[in-house]
Amino acid sequence: MIVKALYIVLSVALVTVWGLTLTGIVRKIVARVHGRIGPPVWQPFVDIIKNNAKRTGISHGVMFYLGPVFRIAGGMGTFLFIPVLFGSDMFSNFSFAGDVFLVMYFIFFGQLGMALGSGEGGHPYSAIAVARGLAQMSAFEVPFALSVISLAVQYDTFSVSSIVAAQQGSIFSWTMFTNPLATIAAIIAMLGMNMHSPFDVVIAPQEIPIGPPTEYQGSFLGMLHTNRGIFNGAKLILFMNLYFGGATTIPEMIVKTFCIYMISVFVGVSFPRFRTDQSIRFFLGIPTLIGVAAVILYWL
């Protein structure tokens, strides 16, 4: 148990560092596209250190403080039940004890907890952001859930590790090639999960200054920044495992997750932001139909 605990600490440290590094890289890339210099790549690490060194005297109630706790619990739960490296004891986490639907629950748990915390904040537009976030989340979960159901039918398992194992052998064994419809539906849903433009309807940076950076300060904001690294890395590793054959080495994991993340970045710098109703109609339209087609194809 002690050895397993040390492995878990090392695994969480790895995904946190990589997730925060990706955040810094993406901010630099977006700045270059906009014609700006942008912050340094290591700025997310500086922000965490700075925020954890501060304290806040603002109080909005118990749930306001539990919001960041639920958020990081959702990120940690998502990560701990998926393997980082296939066939590695050190980076297998607790993948033997969970399945893909448990992981999906943790994704929802973190966002719902954050919504409850923000709803108790003092900002007058908090309720607007909560309504936007939950509405969009419910919409992009539909094509993603249909994609996962298609994988469960295809591989006859809900285990993430078993799905990765079924994709070993060659690149043509990846879900991307064996079930392209499910992959397309999931990648489109991932655009909403990552909340880059055109799906950044919650914070809405071009509209009004709202969101967690406005409401939370000090160590609570530092916790949210830390979760950003963990949750980003966890989602990318999950998609890598489900659709792109997983990884057996750290360099392979870094390359694959970077390429997957660049899909969201490319779309984000190419399109303006949707309104909330446009975002919901988008996810419940063609992506959902693609997911339904993927389920029907493998059910038959």
Convert the pLDDT of each residue in 132-145 to its tens digit.
Answer: 888 888 898 899 99
- How sure is the predictor about 217, in pLDDT bands with cuts at 50, 70 and 90? confident
pLDDT over 60 (residue 3): yes
pLDDT over 90 (residue 146): yes
- How far apart are the C-alpha atoms of 295 and 76, rounded to whole Å? 29
What angle in degrees, to the nearest 10, is found between the helix axes of 218-243 and 62-80? 30
pLDDT over 90 (residue 147): yes
- How sure is the predictor about 232, in pLDDT bands with cuts at 50, 70 and 90? confident
**Which pLDDT belongs to residue 88?**
84
* Ramachandran area for residue 296 (φ above 0: left; ψ -120 to 50: alpha; else beta): alpha
Task: Report the pLDDT averaged over residues 255-268.
Answer: 90
- How sure is the predictor about 100, in pLDDT bands with cuts at 50, 70 and 90? confident
Task: Report the pLDDT averaged over residues 13-17.
Answer: 90
- How far apart are the C-alpha atoms of 79 and 67, rounded to whole Å? 19
Range name among 65-79, 172-186, 285-299 with the lowest pLDDT average: 65-79
Convert the pLDDT of each residue in 40-96 to its tens digit.
Answer: 888 989 888 888 887 776 667 777 788 788 888 888 888 888 989 888 888 888 887
pLDDT over 70 (residue 283): yes
- How far apart are the C-alpha atoms of 280 and 140, rounded to whole Å? 8
- How far apart are the C-alpha atoms of 240 and 244, rounded to whole Å? 5
**Which pLDDT belongs to residue 163?**
92
- How sure is the predictor about 243, in pLDDT bands with cuts at 50, 70 and 90? very high
87 Cβ partners below 8 Å, 6+ apart? 248
**What's the token pair of residue 119?**
């709803």
- How sure is the predictor about 150, in pLDDT bands with cuts at 50, 70 and 90? very high
One-character DSSP codes across 261-296: HHHHHHHHHHSPPPPHHHHHHHHTTHHHHHHHHHHH
Q: CB atoms < 10 A from the CB of 108, how many?
A: 15
**Domain boundaries along the sequence of the chain:** 2-299
The residue with greater pLDDT, 255 or 65, is 255
**Which pLDDT belongs to residue 107?**
83
pLDDT over 90 (residue 119): no
- How far apart are the C-alpha atoms of 81 and 64, rounded to whole Å? 27
**pLDDT, the chain, mean:** 85
**Which pLDDT belongs to residue 244?**
94
